[in-house]
A = this chain, B = another copy of it.
């Protein structure tokens, strides 16, 4: 029996047309640092997106499937590119402006970007790269900033406003397959080369619906969303697309991401929703404590990207800003879970415990927890395993360069195509996810997992210990066992047996999980973002550079 429904593709084009037409009065407000913010209606921004598409095609020769990169802050022009590029059948590549220059060049070359749209303030980052870029044919500059470093550029440089000025405000959008590539974003790649995730029109459309569902961020045209999470970071968690779908006003901070201007824009523009990583909110909290402001409009704050400390959540609750925890990653578009407590817990003492989980699995996402031996673990809130996810906005592979098949490394994707998140945690009987470890940080001992994070936190709670890292090392009998690496506080002496007893008696670590191998270092090596660099420790151990005591 054939369905009689229309076969209409789910495309970014449809979101653009809808937002421009039906929600033409909704606004994008971009912070300018001084004086009035820049204000554009969706009708105006939509018309500019159409002019941009005409310019990209007619002046810069962008063809279907051509890559257009953005090196931009969160602002109206970036939203315009979000819609213009995929709607014309090309692929938007958002560049992470925090990356080291060499990695940025590698990514641009790997993606074969033809055009780069850059904010004036980021020219100093881009200009030195240009001689190393193999495929870039045009640079387009938008917003304030000295253009001088682009003098002598190997490729033509255009002004965004000049480029779109005389262009038509109509475009005969191509009919697109919803599974076609729409946007490209590379993961930051702490191990190995950065990996490209290619979002389809379909995945973006479905994810936008999910964002606006009452069970997720519940946004409507009565909302204004302060989008602090960068547009180069997983499509700003899908908020620009979700905004055009439901007429949600956008408040864009541009490069003004410091606590003081953020507090100022919240007080002045009265957003009802905001989205950012915990560190941003931690800074904002300090600012609001030092200089109180009226932030009462902000009833709905989405925090994700890293676990939100419970203390931060409580502090925001007191200010009337209700934090909703969410979990996701570049590979999950990113909405994986959202921590709205279940109805039966609301108003009870259990409510907060649900809010600090990573959140509940929505209908679009399937999840499973896989134990050390590949077995599927129960949703009992206790059994911990690696989280694997499946769904129409979840990556099933990585971009592998032009004309190459998508890459499916077996440590990242299961045989049946699920994403291995690399996160370890539990799921409770109602689908609430709690993450405890990164998979690469757990120790697989005799078919059971030992949490290195749990041991580290336990050790660091000892009064003599300044820092502690625990890594897995090979063991003939158990496969892997934990190695405890401690940094002793000034003036303290180390007593491994006492530390071991402390873990057992005070931290209540199970006997079989207690480390036998111990060592002391002067300082734990760190990555560029301040995380423990366990790769270095593992290498030092393997090379015999650490003096290990066996208990």
A21 to B392, CA, bound (A): 19
Pick the interface stretch among A165-173, A342-350, A494-502. A342-350
> Which of B8, B390, B429 makes the CB contact (< 8 A) with A6?
B390
Residues in B neighbouring A402, C-beta threshold 8 A: 1
A6 near B214: Cβ-Cβ < 8 Å: no
Whether B361 and A4, one on each chain, are in contact in the complex, defined by CB atoms closer than 8 angstroms, is no
Minimum CB–CB distance for A388 against chain B, Å:
12
| A406 sits at the interface (CB 8 A) | yes
Residues on the B chain within 8 Å of A206, using CB: 10, 209
Beta-carbon contacts under 8 Å, A177-232 to B: 179-182, 184, 196-200, 202-203, 206, 208-210, 212-215, 218-222
Whose C-beta in chain B lies nearest to the C-beta of A417?
A: B6
A159 at the interface (CB under 8 A from B): no
With a CB–CB cut-off of 8 A, which chain B residues contact A198? Answer: 1-5
Asked if residues B18 and A363 are in contact (CB atoms below 8 Å), the reply is yes
Stretch at the interface among A261-269, A393-401, A515-523: A393-401
| Cβ contact within 8 Å between A22 and B360 | yes
Interface: A25 (CB within 8 A): yes
How long is the Cα–Cα vector from A21 to B366 in the complex, in angstroms?
Answer: 10
Determine whether the beta carbon of B390 is less than 8 Å from that of A15.
no
Give min CB distance, A210 to chain B, whole Å.
Answer: 7
**How far, in angstroms, from A5 to B18 measured CA to CA in the complex?**
24
Chain B residues lying within 8 Å of A399, measured Cβ to Cβ, are: 1, 4
**How far in angstroms is the closest Cβ of chain B from A240?**
14
Please measure, in the bound complex, the distance between the C-alpha atom of A104 and the C-alpha atom of B131, giving whole angstroms. Answer: 75
Q: Do A246 and B213 touch (CB < 8 A)?
A: yes
Assembly CA distance A3 to B92 (angstroms): 12
Residues of B within 8 A of A10 (CB): 206, 392
| Residues of A within 8 A of B (CB-CB), count | 79
> 8 Å CB contacts to B: which residues of A1-36?
1-8, 10, 14-15, 17-19, 21-26
What residues of chain B lie closer than 8 Å to A114, measured between beta carbons? Answer: none
In the bound complex, how far is the Cα of B3 from the Cα of A393, in angstroms? Answer: 11
Q: Is the CB of A5 within 8 A of B394?
A: yes
> What B residues does A18 contact at CB under 8 A?
361, 363, 366
- Chain B residues in 8 Å Cβ range of A392: 5-8, 10
- Distance (whole angstroms) from the CB of A361 to the closest CB of chain B: 6
Q: What chain B residues lie within 8 Å of A396 (beta carbons)?
A: 4-7
- Judge whether A65 is part of the interface by a CB distance below 8 angstroms: yes
B residues less than 8 Å from A361 (CB atoms): 18, 22
Min CB distance, A195 to chain B, in Å? 9
A14, A360, A405 — most chain B CB neighbours (10 Å): A14
CB neighbours of A21 from chain B (8 A): 379, 431
A245 to B220, CA, bound (A): 20
- In whole Å, how far is A355's beta carbon from the nearest beta carbon of chain B? 14
Neighbouring B residues of A218 by C-beta, 8 Å: 214, 218
Q: Which residues of B contact A8 (CB under 8 A)?
A: 390-392, 394
Which residues on B sit within 8 Å (CB–CB) of A429?
24
Q: A22-B430, A214-B220, A220-B215 are in contact. Are A245 and B363 (CB under 8 A)?
A: yes
Is there a chain B Cβ closer than 8 Å to A537's Cβ? no
In the assembled complex, A91 has its CB within 8 A of some CB on chain B: yes
Q: Is A255 an interface residue (CB 8 A)?
A: no
In Å, the complex CA distance between A15 and B197 comes to: 27
Given A22-B360, A24-B430, A429-B24, do A4 and B398 touch, yes or no (CB 8 Å)?
A: yes
A364-390 residues with Cβ-Cβ distance < 8 A to B are 366, 379, 390
Interface status of A340 (Cβ within 8 A of chain B): yes
Q: Could you tell me the distance between the alpha carbons of A397 and B67 in the complex, rounded to whole angstroms?
A: 38
Whether A222 lies near B346 (C-beta < 8 A) is yes
Q: Are B6 and A431 in contact (CB under 8 A)?
A: no
**Which residues of chain A in 321-376 are interfacial with respect to chain B, using CB atoms and an 8 Å cutoff?**
340, 342-344, 346, 360-361, 363, 366
A22 to chain B, nearest CB (A): 3
21 contacts between A and B (CB under 8 A): A1-B181, A1-B399, A1-B402, A2-B405, A2-B406, A3-B180, A3-B182, A4-B397, A5-B203, A5-B392, A5-B396, A14-B363, A14-B366, A21-B379, A22-B363, A22-B431, A24-B429, A208-B363, A213-B213, A215-B246, A245-B363
Contacts A1-B198, A3-B180, A14-B363 known; list 20 others, CB within 8 Å: A1-B65, A1-B181, A1-B184, A3-B199, A4-B197, A4-B398, A4-B406, A5-B199, A5-B202, A5-B203, A5-B394, A5-B396, A10-B392, A18-B363, A25-B430, A206-B209, A209-B209, A209-B363, A212-B213, A215-B247
